Structure 1
Amino acid sequence: MSTDTVYPILTGKRALVVGVANEHSIAWGCALAFRKLGAEVVLTYLNEKALPHVAPLAEQIGAQLLPLDVSQPGQLEAVFAALAQQGKLDILVHSIAFAPKADLQGGLLDCSLDGFLQAMDVSCHSFVRMAKLAVPLMTEGGSMFAMSYHGADKVVPNYNVMGPVKAALEATCRYLAYELGPRDIRVHAISPGPLQTRAASGLKDFDHLLAEAIARSPLGELVDIEDVGNTCAYLASPYAKRLTGSTVYVDGGLNIVA
């Protein structure tokens, strides 16, 4: 039997994937994996500037496309109102993060209050807001995913304010997993290794981080967005129905190396 055989184990499921900016986005890797396994996919785009980059991707997989800037009042509610009109939701992917450039590239001691609060709101609390709106639509249970990074657990030079913010996000996933378990809703934080995405380009000396990941990881190579997407697809499938509350590393084993 061919090892390339694909079983449509997510047929009949609907996934909302938030955070696709272009074809290099982690969220796009998730959308591809879900669609490949039979799920219906709904994508969001940040603004009119992002639309020309996201619309062709949505068309490629036959995905519905909705506008969403979580910092704008009412937009998140509008997305879920549109979803509610069409039926249930089974999978939610939160793959968005933001901090003002000055606060991201400066040390934590120099991070402004406004910058810290903005980073926490967009990168962490928006996941709580999404989860609250998603729960009524997950009538048959479901899976929720939020994207983290190893800098949440260990100090990564130049990750700065995003380290504490991602640590809060991982704790949020654990507490949501606890609260939503009785509803058969599973929640995971996903922690990919360094990836060349638009968001990562804002980090100082990111090229050095990529090179170091290759040199130090047990598998000796970088992961890609498909690796992350396939992991989320597995965790959303019946094969992982007893798994919840984990921070799942998709990094070639880099996190185990001192």
Structure 2
Amino acid sequence: MSDLLKGKKILVMGVANKRSIAWGCSQMMMENGAELIFTYQNDRIKKSLSRLVSEEEKLVECDVSDDASIENAFKLVNERFGKVDGILHAIAFANKEELGGEIMQASREGYALAQDISAYSLIAVAKYGREILNDPSSIVTLTYFGSERAIPNYNVMGVAKASLEASVRYLARDMAKYGTRVNAISAGAIKTLAVTGIKGHSELLKMSEERTVDGESVTIREVGGTCAFLMSDLSIGVVGDVIYVDKGVHLI
């Protein structure tokens, strides 16, 4: 363990299970000395998260589709732990039927849902998070190359990730006055619960692996290393950026 994040408290939003990129980020932050607090959406996610996090008081319910839920969750975090030094936003969702075929088949409701949960939630988290974030502090979110390229079947999620990345830039501008820097990590394709919801995900994972510089997929811990850096004071000059952690897939 290093002391890169010693004394820092980080709020982690979006761990679903041990394969989650958010869990890889959590592992690396803990190994670098951070104290972590976790949010969960519902009892099902809480049950899964409890297998990874034994301290009940470090689990806080939060549904990012509900502003009141976010506000209440952050108030509870502040009451239990005081102000935090960072927030990891690792939350995205789209209906499975929107992740296949042609983009024109996307429903208006499905498109709006993907935008709400995957992109607007970052703005909401920043809005209420401002009250519990120290100066300096860091917000990190997770995106994917499908924001820039038309990845097969990614569809409304790709559009939502493009919106998320634009939100990072605007939030970085507006949160700077509060001492909070905002950045995104564009992670390579990894077999997570979210990826398995995409039609043809096996082919996507294989194609991504073949395009890495060493022929091996990036791991959740490798993504986590960059997250730990962005949460640390070493990244104080990195603002409003998207950092690729995909072993070079985006180069081709």
* Aligned pair partner of 1:77 in 50, 53, 71: 71
Indicate how the Cα distance of structure 1 residues 229 and 64 shifts in structure 2: closer, same or farther if over 3 A, else same.
same
Note if contact 2:67-2:124 (Cα within 8 Å) is conserved in structure 1. Answer: no
Root-mean-square deviation (CA, aligned residues, Å) is: 1.5
How many positions carry a matched residue from both structures? Answer: 251
- Say whether 1:245 aligns with 2:240: yes
Indicate how the Cα distance of structure 1 residues 127 and 48 shifts in structure 2: closer, same or farther if over 3 A, else same.
same
Within 5 Å, give how 1:145-184 maps onto structure 2.
145-184=140-179
1:124-155 alpha-carbon deviations (Å, 9 max, x no partner): 10110000111122232211111110000111
Structure 1 window deviating more from structure 2 (194-203 vs 213-222): it is 213-222
Mind listing any 5+ residue stretches in structure 2 that lack a counterpart?
A: none
Mind listing any 5+ residue stretches in structure 1 that lack a counterpart?
A: 1-5
Distance 1:177 1:255 in 2: 23
Using the aligned pairs only, state the percent identity: 38
Distance 1:241 1:12 in 2: 17
What TM-score, normalized by structure 1, do the two folds share? 0.93
Give the drift of 1:206. 0.8
Amino acid in the other structure paired with 1:129: A
Structure 1 window deviating more from structure 2 (164-173 vs 210-219): it is 210-219
- Say whether 1:205 aligns with 2:200: yes
Note if contact 1:107-1:161 (Cα within 8 Å) is conserved in structure 2. Answer: no
Match of 1:65 in 2: 59
Distance 2:239 2:198 in 1: 30
Indicate how the Cα distance of structure 1 residues 140 and 52 shifts in structure 2: closer, same or farther if over 3 A, else same.
same
Give the drift of 1:238. 1.7
Note if contact 1:11-1:38 (Cα within 8 Å) is conserved in structure 2. Answer: yes
Note if contact 1:11-1:37 (Cα within 8 Å) is conserved in structure 2. Answer: yes
Distance 1:157 1:210 in 2: 12
